[in-house]
Amino acid sequence: MHPPLSEPASLSLLLTWFRRVEARVGRTTGTDPARGMGALWSQERPPEEGQPTERSRWQAMARQLLTTVLFLSVLLGSCVLFIYIFWSCRPRTCDTPVCRRLLDHYLKSGNISVAPCTDFFSFACGKAKGTLAEEIKRQLQRILESSGSWHPGSEEEKAFQFYSSCMDTDAIEAEGAGPLRHIIEELGGWQISGNWTSLDFNRTLRLLMSQYGHFPFFRAYLSPHPSPPHQLVIQIDQPKFDIPLGQELEQKNYAQILREYLTYLNCLGKLLGGNPSKVQEHAYLSISITSQLSRFLRPPGQQRTQGKLFQMVTIDQLQEMAPAIDWLSCLQATFTPMSLSPSQLVVVHDLDYLQNMSKVLEKQLLEHRDFLQSHMIFGLVEALSPALDSKFQEARRLLNQKVRELTEQPPMPTRPRWMECVEETDAAFKPTLAAVFVRETFSPSTQSAAMELFTAIKDALITHLRRLPWIDEETQKKAQDKVTQVQVTMGAPEWALKPALARQEYNDTHLRPSYLQSFLSSVRSRQARIIQSSFQPSPHHRWKVSPWEVSAHYSSSDHMVAFPAGLLLPPFFHPGYPRAVNFGAAGSIMVHELLRIFSQLLLPGCCQACDNRAVLQCLENHYAAFPLPHGISFNGSRTFQENVADMGSLAIALQAYKNRLLWHYGETTLPRLDLSPHQLFFLSYAQVMCREPSTQDSQDTHSPPSLRVHGPLSNTPAFARYFSCPRGTLLNPSRRCQLW
């Protein structure tokens, strides 16, 4: 090999080679090399030179022809390349079975005859029937009714037999109230049936709490401590009464509701063979006790305002403050095998209520001990009604119907028996049913694709945080760090992905000939599992969300987000869907949950470094201006934080989708819809909100479904651009709020 030339030597050699070429060209064309490159292309001849020869003219023409051919070749090649790139990047039609099913779902649920710029909710959801949660319950029904071959005595077989027992209404009707009467006798009976044994009040209460999972006067449960390090601790909370709070209703409505409850309790007493006159008397006193206790209940918001969300006290201190309850014996029986002592600390959520409750009970124990016994049994019968025959369930249905009418709530739709049995099997055999569900519906490839989507969403959010003008640089950095450090569980927890863990859960669950007895066995087994989890290291890290749930969860104590498989199934997500669908539906849900990490930044007055007061006020006015369906109420202050999160979920999911298109070509779309990928993105976003407005819960912190669609879309210029919405239409307003 020759040694490398120095820079001057290399340049000299190059110039020498160039002159030789120039001289050779000059000899061919008759030009002078000394005149340089300019002469090579000059068309002028000095006067002393003669006219060009015939040969030189042909050579010039050949050069021009060659130049033209080369130019046209380059032009043609560029056109071909441009057409290839254009057709390669152009969305292809997805005609796979999974896309055809999605297309069918969109066509059945939407109403494409509606103008999208004036009512996109109806455009996307105008014919929607049912919800994703209902569809997943149908999947569980199909699994539980399949003729699977299960190992005799296995936990899978127990779950399937439990469901079959629940569905065997003929056997339940044949048993009637017999199994329930037997339970009442074990508790000492009650006077309305004539065979009452005056037992100790706290003994009956211990049995109800430990054997039947029924808490008539307060709730006691294991839950992570409200403050770090969030260890599991016994918590004492207000009870949940079926009767609405009197302070929330007009006096005449509240009185009528009490009369409806009195009618219901009379019906229960008669179904259990009680003497009509005694039933009436005991039912009345039971309603009186509930009414007295309900006067002391305070909504969580009021507790928060008064700074009394929880207090730490010992069991001994609690005994002094509320002496009517034998706290140590009742809690010890309920939370066996935990070893409790008088010095054991517990979390109390409303000490004032417990003190007032104790006074009411002390008075009843002195004057009406037998009525107090009947009150506790009435409550137990109500709690067990799902496992009783049709007469008890019909009485409960009529009560619910009357109460909803009096509280001006829409009627509840009639639920089929299979749906109730699916829910009871879920509660009784959650780990086993979860393992089967994951195996049947959620493949490793789906989990991998969902994690890829989450990574794209998280990266877009981190980048987006740097661009927010209303928070300072330090706050931006802290917010980015929190998003970066968040942990995620995708699809299902470890115990659902490893069936061996689930099989260890149900050694103490015993199926009985009576469905009611099987039901109670499952209640005791479930309570024992919860208590046993407290002995495991870091028990609060154990994800208790069912894989089929359709709502994501963020745990501030664990700094972890969980996205159940129910959210990552069609029609919200599938690895074979167009990217627009996955980013618009599942992607926006992921953003919404991630925004909970720093939700306090979005509350007025909670972030001193945030200059967002004007834009937050703009958003409040923006939502208040939207029309709502007839009969649907809207509380802007209650839903404000969710409205802000809805805005962010759409904006950031859209940015993540654009980022993906920038680096990954080959997008697909659905046939027959005539929607571009971006239009499909917005359609899939709206599909997440498809549900009947009448199902809106008065205490729901989300806005009505139509407002959850129209609010964010109207604040997104890209939506108006892709759907060509005229200026001034509902979804292309003249003014927008630039929060995200």
- Residues annotated as catalytic (active site), given as ranges: 593, 646
SS3 407: coil
- Answer for the pair 190, 377: CB distance below 8 angstroms, yes or no: yes
Residues 323 and 334: their CA atoms lie apart, in Å, by 18
The verdict on whether omega for the bond into residue 571 sits within 30 degrees of 0, i.e. cis, is yes
Label the pairing between strands 560-564 and 487-491: parallel
Q: How many CB atoms lie within 10 A of CB 722?
A: 18
The amino acid at 548: W
What's the Rg (C-alpha) of the chain?
A: 37
**How far apart are alpha carbons 700 and 696 in whole angstroms?**
7
Q: Tokens 């029904």 sit at which residue?
A: 141
Positive or negative torsion for Cα 303, 307, 309, 311: negative
Q: Are 534 and 542 within 8 A, CB to CB?
A: no
Give the Cα separation of 651 and 649 in Å (integer): 6
> DSSP 3-state assignment of 268?
helix
Q: Reduced to 3 DSSP states, what percent helix, strand and coil does the chain have, rounded to the nearest 5?
A: 60, 5, 35
Which residues are within 8 A (CB) of 129 and not within 5 positions of it... i.e. 6 or more apart?
108, 109
Q: Specify the residue for token string 């629940």.
A: 166
* Alpha carbon distance 533, 525 (integer Å): 12
Q: Provide CB contacts within 8 A for 616, sequence distance 6+.
A: 602, 604, 640, 644, 739
How far apart, in whole angstroms, are the C-alpha atoms of residue 668 and residue 581? Answer: 10
Q: End-to-end distance of the chain based on CA atoms, in angstroms?
A: 63
Q: Please tell me the distance from the alpha carbon of residue 285 to that of residue 293, in angstroms, as a whole number.
A: 12
Overall residue count recorded for the chain in this entry = 740
- Quote the tokens at residue 129: 């029937």
From 204, 184, 205, 203, select the one nearest 195 (Cα to Cα). 184
Count CA atoms closer than 13 A to 390's CA, side-chain side: 9
Find out whether 574 and 583 touch, Cβ atoms under 8 Å.
no
Question: In this structure, are residues 644 and 634 in contact, taking their beta carbons and an 8 Å threshold?
Answer: no
Per residue, what are the HEC states of 647-715? HHHHHHHHHHHHHHHHHCCCCEECCCCCCCHHHHHHHHHHHCCCCCHHHCCCCCCCCCHHHHHHHHHHC
- What is the token pair recorded at 170? 């003929």
- Residue 35 half-sphere exposure toward CB, CA atoms < 13 A: 14
CB-CB contact of 702 with 688 (8 Å): no
- What token pair was written down for 627? 């029309």
Phi, psi of 526 (to 5 degrees): -65, -45
**Burial class (CB within 10 angstroms; exposed 0-12, middle 13-18, buried 19+) of 328:** middle
Helices (H), 36-154: 36-40, 54-89, 97-109, 120-125, 132-144
Torsion angle of the four alpha carbons 205, 209, 214, 217, in this order, in degrees rounded to the nearest 10: 50
Task: Answer whether the bond into residue 229 is a cis peptide, omega within 30°.
Answer: yes
Are 468 and 476 in contact by the 8 Å Cβ rule? The answer is yes
> Phi/psi of residue 129, each to 5°?
-120, 125
